[in-house]
A and B are shown apart, each in its own frame.
Chain A
Amino acid sequence: MSTDTQNTAVAQPDEHEEGENYLNHETSVWSWLSTKDHKRIGVLYCVTLALVFLAAGVLALVMRAELSGPGETMMANDTYNQVFSMHGIMMVFLFLVPSIPAILGNFVLPMQIGAKDVAFPRLNLASWYVYLAGATLTIMALLWGGVDTGWTFYTPYSKTTGGGVLWMTSAIFVAGFANIFTGLNFIVTIHKMRAPGMTWNRLPLFVWGMYATSIVQVLATPVIGITMVLLILEQVLQIGIFDPSLGGDPVLFQHFFWFYSHPAVYIMILPAFGIMSELIATFSRSRIFGYRAIALSSVAIAMLGFLVWGHHMFVSGQSVVSSIVFSLITYLIGIPSGIKVFNWVATLYKGSIWLQTPMIYALSFLFLFSIGGFTGIMVGVLSVDVHLHDTYYIVSHFHYVMMGGTVVALLGGMHYWWPKITGRMYNETLGKIAAFLIFVGFNLTFFPQLVLGAKGMPRRYATYADRFTELHQLSTAGSGVLGVGLFLVLGYALWSLKYGEKAPANPWGAATLEWTNVAALPDPHNFKRTPLITRGPYDFHLADEVFGGGDGEADGDQGLRVPDAAPAAPLEPSRDA
């Protein structure tokens, strides 16, 4: 049994820079398509999702271009309807929901808990193929006339329009399984695959974030699956559950849809919280404030997130009693979210802050997510929402959460783990410029939309009244800046793959396992020896335990103190359940 933990002879971290790693130990195309290595699956997902984000992002720029003038500027109304529908569907179902778990979760999570792989590697690969099947069905939907229902597919309209709806609902049904597989895999991995000494209180907070996310994925995604099946049956067999002309109830569809799609918001934002905790702790060189509160508030958000879906339906004709109940519970969500933000700020306090690009993204997140959260509380107020429902205020609110929250955190996380994924450093100066452009561009795009919405500009229209022109043009200009920033990121990321400086094993001086115990480019099996965890993930204050030796002895390059590796676990498996 003893040799199970070390299969092949592998390079010692930091000793052989050019040794065997997860990228070069097999190089054929088939080795990538049939890989069961969680790191390679993460990379596969990364490339796929980048393409989806590019496509959906370009659609967003096209929409903003159309809205640069009050009349019809470059496309017909029907085309605009299809463009915003595709933007929403691709961004939500095919990009944001899988994004952080599938890319960074896959890549980082097993390393952070000291495992060789996720619990079910084959299921993990299956998840990617299922996702591709879903993406293919999405393309079929486009070929069959597209979708103009918005990403919500509200009945009865979705029953009457376009042949693409059938394909698109199938696509969402199929792509849902990819998320279920990932979530299921992570829960089991976190429960059963932790290295010796990795207690629940020593889990990095990214892992806690992924754990909460996975719970939501497993519990909520099946419901969107069956909802989509019922919608398909409604179209094919006229089952009359949702169609009022057959005696059905369209509001019931909205219940089903939002029972998934509201928790899906937490599927998108909880991993971002996890990344934030990593970034803030590492780049302020201080122990995270309120570890337990941050960890448990993620789980609390995951659970509370199931009780609030009705706040999307305040003006849909649901009963006022349930609107009041849902509105009240919605306020509760503010509590755990607030706990997190306060704890991050408290971590920054008296920390030794190192303003690298990932940290700039983290600080952007704090600002943008706070706006997203506060506007969320506002639209959670029943009477206010009646005024703001279906206006640009809502559009702006969820972009502040989804893009200002999730995408900014994803960008921060990608920069942070980029050296581990590619073995190269990105260009720090360009990184900072891009982060700045994205922050400014984002606010320029979406802050005017808050004002527009409050003034009554409805969402999902290609044209608008003249009095909204200035604000819309400001927003369109902002989207240009945002686009430049994002393309700059893409540009220097690709550039760094070939020309970037070689990354050391732990460029940030972080204290979690993927930095301290894994080579610059990870070994195919992550660890040479399974580590034995003896301290928490952010115990920078215990200098001797974390950095080894006395003060100032273990300085790395750039004057950075790099934490010691965790010791290897004893060879006998010492885990007792």
Chain B
Amino acid sequence: MATDTDIAPAPTETDHHDHPAHLQHHFVSSEQQFDSAKLGMWLFLITEILLFSAMFVAYAVYRQWHPETFVAASETLNVTMGTINTIVLLTSSLTVALSIHYIQKDEVKKCIYNLGATLVLAGGFMVIKYFEYTSKFEHGAYPGGMFDPHGGHYAQLADVPFASQFFSIYFVMTGIHGLHVIIGMAVIGWVAVRAWMGSFSSEYYTPVELTGLYWHLVDIVWIFLFPMLYLI
């Protein structure tokens, strides 16, 4: 993870009195370090976007070839749960944006509360996801080769050709997205602990800001996944 490795403050080599503790020796100023970290993070984000792009291409191609299948298969997904999850994730985006807002104003406590709220919401997202997954597994809606739908409204999919492709794409996309949520939770937890230890202030809050950017990207991916998989 770019966020973990490149921005933690290094032990300074020179003991100069106006040298901030977080400034690494090869940077001239905090400003330069902050700008570099942020550009690095945006570059990392576009690698993430391109990572997901291949799955979007797969979705687009199979939808183009088998539109009826995708309509039929997406009707078996639980729109209520999907909508709730969307709102949960959007709210978590708000809380993480607020945490940056508060750290910029030096209100460390409020920042930590908001990071904590983000963690709770992310956990909630994963729990809902877990129930969605298990309800599908119960009816044999596995990805690809193990696809064997039975029971409930899944039974009708047995006669729909290429329905297994939809579920492959569904599980791969949401699975990799879920993996990003879990990684995000770990990073947010780490940032919250460091904020608790007093590492951040309005002078230095780069890790909070970068984690926020990452979390918003996870949110954006879901913003697209939700209508693609659940609604259309």
Contacts and interface: CB of A to CB of B under 8 A. Distances in A.
Given A122-B5, A246-B164, A249-B61, A188 B40 contact: yes
Given A8-B13, A255-B57, A239 B168 contact: yes
A115 interface: yes
A117 B26 contact: yes
Given A119-B40, A240-B144, A222 B57 contact: no
Central interface residue in A4, A123, A256, by most chain B CB within 10 Å: A4
Central interface residue in B16, B43, B51, B52, by most chain A CB within 10 Å: B43
A113 to B, nearest CB: 12
B39 interface: yes
- Which secondary structure dominates where chain B touches chain A? helix
B51 A225 contact: yes
A159 to B, nearest CB: 11
A527 to B, nearest CB: 11
Given A116-B25, A239-B145, A241-B169, A122 B6 contact: yes
Contacts of B78: none
B172 interface: yes
Interface in B33-50: 35-36, 39-40, 43-44, 46-48, 50
B28 A5 contact: yes
Nearest to B169: A241
Interface in A221-244: 221-223, 225-227, 229-230, 233-234, 237-241
Central interface residue in A119, A230, A246, A530, by most chain B CB within 10 Å: A119
Nearest to A117: B26
B209 to A, nearest CB: 15
A226 B54 contact: yes
A187 B43 contact: yes
Given A4-B25, A246-B144, A222 B51 contact: yes
B225 to A, nearest CB: 15
A122 B4 CA distance: 10
A188 B5 contact: no
Interface in A199-241: 218-223, 225-227, 229-230, 233-234, 237-241
Contacts of B2: 120, 123, 181, 184
A122 B39 CA distance: 16
Contacts of A126: 5
B14 interface: yes
A116 B145 contact: no
B83 interface: no
B28 A237 contact: no
Nearest to B168: A239
A221 B40 CA distance: 16
A133 B181 CA distance: 25
B144 A239 contact: yes
B161 interface: yes
B16 A192 contact: no
B146 A237 contact: yes
A222 to B, nearest CB: 4
B47 A188 contact: no
Contacts of B14: 3-4, 7
Contacts of B6: 119-120, 122-123
Contacts of B39: 187-188, 191-192
Contacts of B47: 180, 184, 218-219, 221-222
B172 A239 contact: yes
Contacts of B26: 115-117, 121, 193, 525
A123 B6 CA distance: 6
A19 interface: no
A241 B171 CA distance: 12
A177 to B, nearest CB: 9
B55 interface: yes
B199 to A, nearest CB: 17
B54 A7 contact: no
B5 A239 contact: no
A238 B144 contact: yes
A542 B5 CA distance: 44
Nearest to A121: B26
Interface string B130-145: 0000000000000111
B156 interface: no
Contacts of B168: 237, 239-241
B153 to A, nearest CB: 22
A63 B39 CA distance: 45
Interface in B1-19: 2, 5-6, 13-14, 16, 18-19
Contacts of A119: 6, 36, 40
A121 B61 CA distance: 41
A247 interface: yes
A384 interface: no
Contacts of A255: 57
Nearest to A238: B145
Given A115-B26, A120-B6, A575-B32, A247 B162 contact: yes
A33 to B, nearest CB: 16
B43 A188 contact: yes
A247 B164 contact: yes
5 contacts: A4-B19, A221-B47, A223-B53, A238-B145, A246-B144
Q: What are the nearest 6 A-B pairs in CB distance?
A: A238-B145, A239-B144, A120-B6, A239-B168, A117-B26, A222-B51
